[in-house]
A and B are shown apart, each in its own frame.
Chain A
């Protein structure tokens, strides 16, 4: 069932940063852009299942810490080898300083 879930406070994520969020037996990555927008994707790289929360966020890209593959975290699109399969994305929003995601 799809539902909005409170994930964290906005201040928990650095600007141009990412944190890990686990819920319902799955793991996600929640991103905060330089302009304080929030986004949520699956947490694991589609290449070798390494968590993206350990990766580097630059503009709207998340770079996987293992092989430096990259995704656009707004759309989940794989944009640099080696990953080829896009990430699933989930709606995310801020509400009074809280980050909520629709899972």
Chain B
């Protein structure tokens, strides 16, 4: 595919889409019903359908009987950890191998013209973004993911939280399924703002932001505290009366679903002329510019609070204006302390 038909490439080799990023069209004013109709299938397709199905797969083929989950025993928990880990590396690995190891589409549609593997950095363990991220996933993300999952299943199995069944309350649970992406977006936005406060940023979130040029394994390359806050969004479904399968869906959506924002490419090419949109641009801009796009655009939090960046010159100008103000404040402070130059 000719990516220059869809965007431009600068002197550094960074590709940028022609169309600015946008929030969900349900928020457009005046309303744009046709645009909304076109967008609606993307509310669940393609990723959510996969994670919804994977939740059922886990429930019926991976997890033991409810009676077994009433007790915290190493057997089923280790099996769950193993399956989660293999599944995660397999799922992320598809993107990693195709786009970053085999480089099947080169830098076509790649936001950052460089590949992380070509640039060693002191920011990472073994100076490698990929090794650092893979190790953090293995030793931090997967144990925390599994621990959260076990806690939720244990609570359901023992009747500590209300278990709503699909047969008795199908419409209520269908409603919960519908709002899971909204709860996800709200939870993500709120914890994301929290971990961008100076103390938590420095000690927690900076680990994730070391991946300025994110790649698939960056998705869950996080400090343990951030992982608890982020994957902990599944706990909403023990607070809200729901069903353990929906809690699994929410967890899979957070865990497996972290990849779209970190894939680093705007499209994954399929065949000679086809391509699947990744919807990664909004979050890529967050990794590039740090203080924009704390949310993913399903709910326009960033527009409401003035931090939205759509990748356009206008978006850049708005970000620069905020940056200049912050710089002026910080340089004045530093000048008092005798730290700064120009």
Q: Is the CB of A88 within 8 A of B288?
A: no
Q: Could you say which of B206, B210, B340 has the most chain A C-beta atoms within 10 Å of its C-beta?
A: B340
Stretch touching chain A among B150-158, B186-194, B269-277, B323-331: B323-331
Does residue B291 face the partner (Cβ distance < 8 Å to A)?
yes
Across the interface, name the chain A residue whose C-beta is closest to B202. Answer: A48
A sample of 15 cross-chain residue pairs with beta-carbon separation below 8 angstroms, ordered by A number, consists of: A41-B341, A46-B339, A50-B123, A54-B122, A65-B121, A66-B123, A67-B212, A76-B341, A77-B342, A82-B209, A85-B327, A85-B330, A86-B327, A86-B341, A88-B340
Q: Is the CB of A81 within 8 A of B342?
A: no
Does residue B290 face the partner (Cβ distance < 8 Å to A)?
yes
Q: Which residues of A contact B342 (CB under 8 A)?
A: 75-77, 86-89
Inter-chain CA distance A77–B327, complex, in Å, is 9
Inter-chain CA distance A26–B213, complex, in Å, is 30
Residues of B near any A CB (own CB < 8 A): 11-12, 119, 121-123, 206, 209-210, 212-213, 288-291, 323, 326-327, 330-331, 334, 339-342
Instruction: Report A77-96 CB contacts with B as 1/0, cut-off 8 Å.
Output: 11011101111110000000
Does residue A27 face the partner (Cβ distance < 8 Å to B)?
no
For window 1-21 of A, CB contacts with B under 8 Å fall at: none
Given known contacts A58-B12, A82-B290, A85-B331, A66 and B122 CB-to-CB distance under 8 angstroms: yes
Q: Is the CB of A81 within 8 A of B289?
A: yes
Residues of A near any B CB (own CB < 8 A): 41-42, 46, 48, 50, 54, 58, 65-68, 75-78, 80-82, 84-89
Given known contacts A81-B289, A84-B326, A88-B340, A67 and B331 CB-to-CB distance under 8 angstroms: no
Q: Which 7 A-B pairs have the closest CB atoms?
A: A88-B341, A76-B342, A84-B330, A76-B341, A75-B342, A68-B212, A86-B342
Residue from A58, A76, A78 in contact with B11 in the complex, judged by beta carbons closer than 8 Å: A58
Across the interface, name the chain A residue whose C-beta is closest to B291. Answer: A81
Q: Which residues of B contact A84 (CB under 8 A)?
A: 323, 326-327, 330-331
Known contacts A67-B123, A80-B289; 7 additional CB pairs below 8 A are: A46-B340, A65-B122, A66-B212, A67-B210, A68-B212, A85-B334, A86-B340
Inter-chain CA distance A17–B47, complex, in Å, is 44
Inter-chain CA distance A81–B203, complex, in Å, is 18
Q: Which residues of A contact B331 (CB under 8 A)?
A: 84-86
Q: Which residues of A contact B122 (CB under 8 A)?
A: 50, 54, 65-66
CB of B200 to closest CB in A, whole Å:
15
Residue from B11, B121, B326, B334 in contact with A66 in the complex, judged by beta carbons closer than 8 Å: B121
Q: Could you say which of B11, B119, B212, B342 has the most chain A C-beta atoms within 10 Å of its C-beta?
A: B342
Across the interface, name the chain B residue whose C-beta is closest to A88. Answer: B341
Across the interface, name the chain A residue whose C-beta is closest to B10. Answer: A58
CB of B309 to closest CB in A, whole Å:
11
CB of B332 to closest CB in A, whole Å:
10
Inter-chain CA distance A85–B334, complex, in Å, is 7
CB of B321 to closest CB in A, whole Å:
13
Inter-chain CA distance A91–B219, complex, in Å, is 43
Q: Which residues of A contact B119 (CB under 8 A)?
A: 65
Q: Is the CB of B341 within 8 A of A68?
A: no
CB of B160 to closest CB in A, whole Å:
43
Q: Could you say which of A58, A81, A87 has the most chain B C-beta atoms within 10 Å of its C-beta?
A: A81
Inter-chain CA distance A41–B342, complex, in Å, is 10
Q: Which residues of B contact A78 (CB under 8 A)?
A: 327
Q: Which residues of B contact A58 (CB under 8 A)?
A: 11-12
Across the interface, name the chain A residue whose C-beta is closest to B121. Answer: A65
Inter-chain CA distance A54–B127, complex, in Å, is 13
Inter-chain CA distance A82–B330, complex, in Å, is 12
Inter-chain CA distance A54–B342, complex, in Å, is 22
Inter-chain CA distance A42–B340, complex, in Å, is 10
Q: Is the CB of B341 within 8 A of A87?
A: yes
Q: Which residues of B contact A82 (CB under 8 A)?
A: 209, 290-291
Q: Is the CB of A81 within 8 A of B323?
A: yes
Q: Which residues of B contact A80 (CB under 8 A)?
A: 289
